[in-house]
């Protein structure tokens, strides 16, 4: 009896939160997948964000301009292609707490990581260690290993993996490595556990030892507030197909702090779009980098790819990034409340599975993703049961389900339904 009252109260709370939600008007701006049935719930924005409805028109507009103008579209298209990338710096800067000149939309996350590492990992005989996370996203590790090898060094000697991923342990490791440390390179929000690091303190600790700090923000941008400029972060890279809803394979982004962006002596992988723009078409030998992050560009902008991103980022502008972040935090809190209440172990003998929440419970140490470890030999079968109930999350081997309510298109009532569906089969262990 007590439990059902609590359940009803929880549901009422969801309804009240939805009622007061200033972002709810934005949900109809997205195509909401119904592949698993009319009642499908999409909790997978940590992997691929949803398609904004304006994307199709934006792509058609570029087609029309191409058909109408041919090469003249570089100057006469609705959004002229010649400096197409520039407006993205304005749109991305508030999302990462940067000056527009510190941000550029280009390439993909891994390519941008290679470009940043080429500039900012310049080992010496004394200072050569890169601190990274033991369970780093594979692509980051491949980039780190391959760059170290290209520098003629041994990845085994240069890479220091940290197992404990909390900010305190990371700062301790930075101090322990001391003056051998060249670079700290970590995910801002860990893709597996959803843990958010204290980028400000980690950057300060790295700088104190004389090292640099760069971050993979794939799971952070659009999810948690970032102040990359104020925190003095040296560089950061991200993709835009997750929380930024810019579509599969969408162009990534690069942040270069202005103290580096204005230093034209920094060696880099160069291409003509990074060359001083007034002289770009002079085609002369002798690369002269532009100031700011633009000086790391290689090629002219992928217009069709970025057309979708323009629509997606304009929704963030309309929503107000502060509203997005505060709803994300509140959704995470409500999700945890639902899981703790509905997952209470008092009827555990009736449930096949148990789970624990591996994402930190403190709201300042996470975004809106929750990662649940499933304690069962066939844990994936619980994920299949959720799919049968119309819930789209994702499964990460060996035993984790990631579920992410996203502020722009998910509701509190959906969180309630997801927690209810999960806790029907599983109870919470702490
Ligand atoms: C944390 C993280 N890093 C790197 C990548 C690789 O991104 P890309 O394929 O855009 O290079 C991903 C992709 O999902 C990711 O989640």
Tens-binned pLDDT, residue by residue, of the chain (430 aa): 445 568 999 999 999 999 999 999 999 999 999 887 888 999 999 999 999 999 999 999 999 999 999 999 999 999 999 999 999 999 999 999 999 999 999 999 999 999 999 999 999 999 999 999 998 999 999 999 999 999 999 999 999 999 988 899 999 999 999 999 999 999 999 999 999 999 999 999 999 999 999 999 999 999 999 999 999 999 999 999 999 999 999 999 999 999 999 999 999 999 999 999 999 999 999 999 999 999 999 999 999 999 999 999 999 999 999 999 999 999 999 999 999 999 998 888 899 999 999 999 999 999 999 999 999 999 999 999 999 999 999 999 999 999 999 999 999 999 999 999 999 999 999 8
- Rounded to the nearest whole angstrom, what is the distance from the C-alpha of residue 297 to the centroid of ligand 1? 19
Closest CA to 302 of 104, 102, 11: 104
**Cβ(104) – ligand 1 distance below 6 Å:** no
Taking only the tens place, the pLDDT of each residue in 295-348 is 999 999 999 999 999 999 999 999 999 999 999 999 999 999 999 999 998 888
- Rounded to the nearest whole angstrom, what is the distance from the C-alpha of residue 13 to the centroid of ligand 1? 36
Taking only the tens place, the pLDDT of each residue in 17-28 is 999 999 999 999
Name residues whose C-beta falls within 8 Å of residue 5's C-beta, 6 or more positions apart in sequence.
none
Q: Whose CA is nearest to atom 12 of ligand 1?
A: 218
Taking only the tens place, the pLDDT of each residue in 54-108 is 999 999 999 999 999 999 999 999 999 999 999 999 999 999 999 999 999 999 9
What backbone torsions phi and psi does residue 356 show, to the nearest 5 degrees? -130, 155
The burial of 250, by beta-carbon neighbours within 10 Å (0-12 exposed, 13-18 middle, 19 or more buried), is given as: buried
Rounded CA-CA distance 247/355 in Å is: 32
Which atom number of ligand 1 is nearest to the Cα of residue 110? 11
Q: Which two tokens stand for residue 2?
A: 């007590």
CB 423 within 8 A of CB 340: no
Would you tell me how many other CB atoms lie within 10 Å of the CB of residue 179? Answer: 11
Angle at 276 (CA atoms; ends 275, 277), nearest 5 degrees: 100
**Cβ(191) – ligand 1 distance below 6 Å:** yes
Which atom number of ligand 1 is nearest to the Cα of residue 108? 10
**Cβ(114) – ligand 1 distance below 6 Å:** no
For a mutational test of ligand 1's pocket, the pick from 190, 191, 238, i.e. the residue with the most ligand atoms closer than 8 A to its C-beta, is 191
Task: Determine which helix (DSSP H) or strand (DSSP E) holds 185, and give its type and residue range.
Answer: strand 181-187
For a mutational test of ligand 1's pocket, the pick from 116, 139, 187, 249, i.e. the residue with the most ligand atoms closer than 8 A to its C-beta, is 139
Domains delineated in the chain: 2-30+321-428 (3.90.1150.10), 57-317 (3.40.640.10)
């Amino acid at each position: 009896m007590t439990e059902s009252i609590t359940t009803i109260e929880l549901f009422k709370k969801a309804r009240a939160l939805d009622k007061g939600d200033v972002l709810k008007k934005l949900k109809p701006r997205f195509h909401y997948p119904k592949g698993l049935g009319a009642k499908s719930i999409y909790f997978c924005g940590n992997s691929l964000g949803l398609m904004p409805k304006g994307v199709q028109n934006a792509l058609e507009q570029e087609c029309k301009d191409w058909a109408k103008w041919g090469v003249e579209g570089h100057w006469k298209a609705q959004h002229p292609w010649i400096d197409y990338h520039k407006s993205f710096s304005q749109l991305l800067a508030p999302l990462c707490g940067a000056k527009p000149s510190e941000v550029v939309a280009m390439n993909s996350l891994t390519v941008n990581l290679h470009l940043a590492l080429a500039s900012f990992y310049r080992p010496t005989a004394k200072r050569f260690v890169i601190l990274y996370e033991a369970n780093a996203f594979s692509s980051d590790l491949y980039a780190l290993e391959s760059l170290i090898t290209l520098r003629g060094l041994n990845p085994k000697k240069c890479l220091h993996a940290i197992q404990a991923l909390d900010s305190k342990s990371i700062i301790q490791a930075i101090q322990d490595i001391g003056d051998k440390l060249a670079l700290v390179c970590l995910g801002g929000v860990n893709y597996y556990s959803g843990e958010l690091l204290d980028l400000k303190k980690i950057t300060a600790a790295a700088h104190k030892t004389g090292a640099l700090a760069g971050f993979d923000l794939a799971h952070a941008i659009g999810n948690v507030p970032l102040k990359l400029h104020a925190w003095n972060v040296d560089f950061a890279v991200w993709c835009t197909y997750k929380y930024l809803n810019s579509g599969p394979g969408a162009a990534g982004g690069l942040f270069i702090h202005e103290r580096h962006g204005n230093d034209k002596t920094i060696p880099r992988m160069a291409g003509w779009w990074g060359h001083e723009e007034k002289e770009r078409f002079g085609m002369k030998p002798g690369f002269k980098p532009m100031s700011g992050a633009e000086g790391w560009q290689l090629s002219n902008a992928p217009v069709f790819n970025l057309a979708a991103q323009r629509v997606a980022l304009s929704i963030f502008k309309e929503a107000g990034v502060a509203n997005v972040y505060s709803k994300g935090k509140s959704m995470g809190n409500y999700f945890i409340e639902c899981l703790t209440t509905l997952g209470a172990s008092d009827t555990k003998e009736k449930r096949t599975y148990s789970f624990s929440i591996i994402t930190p419970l403190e709201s300042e140490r996470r975004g809106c993703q929750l990662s649940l470890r499933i304690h069962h030999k066939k844990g994936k079968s619980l994920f299949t049961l959720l799919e049968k109930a119309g819930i789209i999350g994702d499964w990460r081997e060996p035993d984790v389900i990631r579920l992410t309510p996203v502020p722009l298109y998910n509701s509190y009532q959906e969180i309630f339904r997801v927690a209810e569906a999960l806790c029907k089969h599983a109870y919470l262990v702490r």
